[in-house]
Structure 1
Amino acid sequence: MADDRIVFFFDIDNCLYPRSYMIHDRMAKLIDDYFMDKLNLEFDEASYLHQKYYKDYGLAIEGLVRHHEIDPLEYNSKVDDALPIAEILKPNPKLRAFLESIDTSKVKLWLFTNAYKTHASRVVKALDIEDLFDGVTFCDYAEPVLICKPKPEMFERAMKDAGAVSKDKCYFIDDSFTNIKGAKEFGWPVTIQYIDALDKDPPSLAGHYELRDFEEMKSFIPHIFK
């Protein structure tokens, strides 16, 4: 029997945990250090190139692979996997209770990240929510060409991985304006930008909705909850 449930795709970093944990900042420092070490750059040059590649490609690592023949799996070991995730993140009972309030007879929960699979696994394990998701779509650093959000091919991959029967069955939450905008343009009918407490209100709406607390979903998509 075909599984025609809604697939709800959840971004991980700065979405399932708040930006105040500073994981992104720690990662940015490790990326800058990697650029300095591998490309023999001073800090200002490394930081500039890091941000340029992030803006151009969605991931700094893609610029390194394209232009400098860097091994992305080695990069992952020096950056994402070097973060002390288990020391920074702790189980979040409120988040777990929210996810458990979603009616899984109607909805399949799926992780969707631009990080590599090892980072995704470490984060959801530290938050004690890994058992609530059916799977994960990640940027596969082992591939010769890296595909990441907001490329349409990445949304197609996520649908295929999760067994989504149609775009109409795909819901998505992410903290990134660009990723949410891309998902809406791709044709997903429920796209939600998560705005952290540390963030100002965006100048415009990226997708269909925006929120600062996951509980707000119960007001605009109540049909997915128990």
Structure 2
Amino acid sequence: MSDASSGPARRPAVRAWLFDLDNTLHDASSAVFGVLSPAMTDYIAQELALEPAEADALRRRYWQRYGATLLGLIRHHGIEPAHFLHQTHLLPGLEERLRCHAHDVAALRRLPGRKYILTNAPRAYALRVLRRLGFLDVFDGVFSIEDMRVFGHWRPKPDPRMLQRICVRLRLAPRQCALVEDTLEHQKGARRIGMRTVWMQRWAHRAGLCCSARPPYVDRRVRRLAALCR
């Protein structure tokens, strides 16, 4: 008699999908980043009394070092987070630049399991984007950068401590959650705690990312949201 328990263990079904927003659900490289990055540079130049070139270099350095420009500004300059997030994400005319397709909305509606946004952007910006793209009622909730504090410290993606806290809030084990994300560094953090990882490559070429190889910490790579339903 064969022993059914001797076969390979099946991975549990994904019960919660955590979706990044920019360059995962929409083409932020074309619609947002060309405006957002200068807005951050202008803010840094004004608040820290720097020349534009110095401010831009500082913005890039903090983003590369901490995963979010805001963290460097808090740690080294005492910038008020709420003021920074509000001023840099005013983005007049944002809605007119956003584009979406009906089949993306339909694909998310078909996808089984709970669905959440997990973004390093502020909540007000995320809600504007979701509302304009027609995604707002598709998601069960939004985890924005305002929610990414652990014991009083800011822990945005890819910090595994924050990701673990999100799983606790969802009352799920990490292996029951999947992160759908365009940024590979963020997927490393998810894999460290045992999350499933999906690399969205739909707009990778515009972000300057190589699309040829799938890193070992990525479970799947997709170019369309409909691929998640299979």
TM range (shorter): 0.7 to 0.9
Please point out which of 121, 124, 128 is paired with 1:122: 128
| Residue pairs, 1:1-226, within 5 angstroms | 6-90=15-99, 92-103=101-112, 107-140=113-146, 145-161=153-169, 163-188=170-195, 190-195=196-201, 196=203, 197-198=205-206, 199-201=209-211, 205=215, 206-218=217-229, 222=230
Question: Contact 2:14–2:178 (CA<8 Å) still a contact in 1?
Answer: no
Q: CA deviation at 1:78?
A: 1.0
Contact 1:61 1:75 (8 Å CA) reproduced: yes
CA distance in 2, matches of 1:20, 1:93: 20
**TM-score for the superposition, normalised by structure 2:** 0.83
Q: Is the 8 A contact 2:118 2:143 kept in 1?
A: yes
Instruction: Give, in whole Å, the separation in 2 of the partners of 1:141 and 1:41.
Output: 30
Kindly indicate whether the alpha-carbon contact (under 8 Å) linking 2:130 and 2:136 is maintained by their aligned counterparts in 1: yes
- In 1, the alpha carbon distance for the partners of 2:148 and 2:82 equals 7
Asked whether the equivalents of residues 72 and 141 of structure 1 are also in contact (C-alpha less than 8 Å), the reply is: no
1:176 Cα deviation after fit = 0.5
Cα contact 1:14–1:175 (8 A) shared by 2: yes
Q: Deviations over 1:138-162 (max 9, x none)?
A: 211896532201101220232133x
Once the two structures are superposed, what CA deviation does each residue of 1:178-212 show, in whole Å capped at 9, x if it has no partner? 00121112211x20111214343165525112222
| Distance 1:210-1:31 versus aligned 2 partners, 3 A rule | same
Residue-pair matches, total: 211
CA deviation vs aligned residue, 1:47-76 (integer Å, no higher than 9, x gap):
111011101111101111111111111111
Structure 2 counterpart of 1:182, one-letter code: G
Which structure 1 segments of 5+ residues have no match? none
Q: Is this contact kept in 1: 2:200–2:221, CA < 8 A?
A: yes
Q: What percent of counterpart residues are identical?
A: 25
Query: What's the TM-score, normalizing by structure 1?
Result: 0.85
CA contact (8 A) 2:31 2:94 kept: no
C-alpha distance in 1 between matches for 2:118 and 2:148? 17
Q: Which moved more, 1:128-137 or 1:84-93?
A: 84-93
Work out whether residues 73 and 141 of structure 1, in 8 Å CA contact, stay in contact via their aligned partners in 2: no
Moved over 6 A (4+): none
**Post-superposition CA distance 1:84-143 (Å, at most 9, x none):** 32222245312101111213xxx0111111112111111111111110111111211896
Larger Rg: 2
CA contact (8 A) 1:32 1:43 kept: yes
| SS of residue matched to 2:90 | helix
